[in-house]
């Protein structure tokens, strides 16, 4: 009842992967790293950055997989 399912067509995206917990601190750190890379390589971002987590609830930090994604031109 409280689940919202929404399909988003992303098109062309840039991403950076990281392990461990997708805490706000880690997400901000990797967002900054991706932002620096994109600016250095003259990519234009479109919209806001997104955090993707690909983990079961019981996955331990060394085996957790996360990404920061952003649409680019």
Beta-carbon contacts of residue 27 (< 8 Å; ≥ 6 apart): 51, 66, 68
For the cut 90, the answer to whether the pLDDT of residue 8 exceeds it is no
Q: Compute the average pLDDT of residues 48-67.
A: 94
- What's the pLDDT score for residue 37? 98
- What's the pLDDT score for residue 35? 98
Identify the CA nearest to 48 among candidates 8, 4, 21. Answer: 8
Query: Taking the model in full, what pTM does it have?
Result: 0.86
């Amino acid at each position: 009842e409280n689940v919202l399912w929404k399909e988003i067509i992303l098109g062309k995206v840039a991403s950076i992967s990281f392990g461990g917990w997708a805490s706000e601190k880690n997400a901000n750190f990797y967002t900054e790293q991706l932002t620096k890379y994109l600016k250095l390589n003259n990519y234009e971002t479109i919209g806001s950055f997104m955090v993707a987590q690909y983990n079961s609830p019981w996955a331990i930090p060394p085996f957790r997989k996360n990404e920061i994604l952003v649409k680019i031109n």
